[in-house]
Homo-oligomer: A and B are copies of this chain.
Amino acid sequence: MELISIGKAAKQAAFQLANASTAQKNRALAIIANELEANCETILTANAKDIQLGRETGMSDTLLDRLLLDKDRLTAIANDVRNVIKLADPVGSEFDSKILENGMSLARRRVPLGVVGVIYEARPNVTIDIASLCLKTGNASILRGGKETFFSNMELVKVIQSALEQAQLPAASVQYIEKPDRELVSALLKLDQYVDMIIPRGGAGLHKMCKENSSIPVIIGGFGISHIFVDESADLEKSLNVVENAKIQRPSACNALDTLLVHQNVASEFLANLKARMQGKVTFVAEPKAKAWLDGAEKLRASLEGDFDTEWLSYTLGVKVVADITEAIEHMRVHNASHSDAIMTNSLDHAERFINSVDSAAVYVNASTRFTDGAQFGLGAEVAVSTQKLHARGPMGLEELTSYKWVGKANYLVRD
């Protein structure tokens, strides 16, 4: 019942937001940024409660660090909001405009989606991030963060709602589901009468749960086995730099390299160089042929069933020798290439074949898989990284938080 009131209020707020000017939305964002700094003490006190509870329940240091706010981090978050102000507002722009033969002026006009539901992990910065991106695009948001951030999020949402009211926008533009019951998440996924899109931010389990239970369109993403295929014609020295970058620069990212595929004709040389460059830093998980060439590496084990379907998110690298580009592509089709994949090659033909045959959100020729990112792609902001094919694929910026409507204007025109 409570959730239905939240949905109704969000829908009502969305109607108002759809008519808010960019200036008004930016004013609200500016007030949010200032209020975050002005309420620093209260927010940090609330955050300290979450941290204490986290410690008591044995949360890991990594997770505690994600959860932690301090003055500097809060200032950084406020500045992130100020950066959103600078981004172009996609709402209201028209595209595919034309005059039909009958004289009707027809265009697609960008409009907010309406109400966006976001389910996310225990990171207080995501609360502000999502709320401000939704607000900028005229969407109302219903937030549901990890329960470990409860006190921080309560305080942050209070600050946001007060700022919204100061800017004469409805407080219900940003709402938070307070109750910890997991059932509320299932109920949110069925609230299709009021919610237009669900963004899950979290692991594969959360995405699967949303996909299987939601009657609202869901943005699936953030998961996928990333591959690099080193082709016969590749510049091996430069390819090694790219492989190292893709694996080591930030192994915990979803666009970090999981599986290296090497053409058999260059396997001997490339894998010897790989061993020399990366042994000790990386655990190699190799199929028999690759294992033979990597023999003697410090951390090396034979690959087992399922290894090539594993997103490592760590300093582990799957390695396989393939006969040619055809086998590489076959391997990727079976092993869930859907996020970011690259070919190292000097063959124009193979580059195009790879691009067209690999079914992933981002495909690279002679570049690291690590580039799949809203900021790297110049989108200004990143709402999520979609690996599905409907609506948006790959990094989603502000435009992907909008829909369009067809607008037809004429002089009392009737259809023949």
Q: Is A123 at the interface (CB under 8 A from chain B)?
A: no
Fill in one digit per residue for A15-44: 1 if any B CB lies within 8 Å of its CB, else 0.
100110000000000000000000000000
Q: Is A378 at the interface (CB under 8 A from chain B)?
A: yes
Instruction: Determine the chain B residues whose CB is within 8 A of the CB of A106 once the complex forms.
Output: 377-378
Fill in one digit per residue for A353-393: 1 if any B CB lies within 8 Å of its CB, else 0.
10111011111111110111000111000000000111101
- When the two chains form their complex, are residues B363 and A414 in contact, meaning their CB atoms are under 8 A apart? no
Fill in one digit per residue for A388-416: 1 if any B CB lies within 8 Å of its CB, else 0.
11110111000000011111111111110
Closest to A410 in B: B367
Partner of A359, one of B114, B197, B355: B114
Q: Which listed segment binds B: A237-245, A294-302, A311-319? A: A237-245
Q: Is A192 at the interface (CB under 8 A from chain B)?
A: yes
- When the two chains form their complex, are residues B366 and A413 in contact, meaning their CB atoms are under 8 A apart? yes
Instruction: Determine the chain B residues whose CB is within 8 A of the CB of A146 once the complex forms.
Output: none
- When the two chains form their complex, are residues B363 and A407 in contact, meaning their CB atoms are under 8 A apart? yes
- When the two chains form their complex, are residues A377 and B406 in contact, meaning their CB atoms are under 8 A apart? yes
A11 shortest CB reach to chain B, Å: 8
Instruction: Determine the chain B residues whose CB is within 8 A of the CB of A362 once the complex forms.
Output: 405-408
CA distance A241 to B357 in the complex (A): 53
- When the two chains form their complex, are residues B394 and A405 in contact, meaning their CB atoms are under 8 A apart? yes
Q: Is the interface of A mostly helix, strand, loop or mixed?
A: mixed
Instruction: Determine the chain B residues whose CB is within 8 A of the CB of A344 once the complex forms.
Output: 412
Fill in one digit per residue for A203-221: 1 if any B CB lies within 8 Å of its CB, else 0.
0000000011001011000
CA distance A245 to B102 in the complex (A): 15
Beyond A217-B218, A217-B391, A371-B415, 20 additional pairs, beta carbon < 8 A: A15-B359, A104-B371, A114-B389, A192-B211, A211-B215, A217-B217, A217-B390, A241-B412, A242-B414, A245-B415, A246-B414, A355-B407, A361-B405, A362-B408, A364-B410, A366-B410, A390-B403, A391-B391, A393-B403, A395-B406
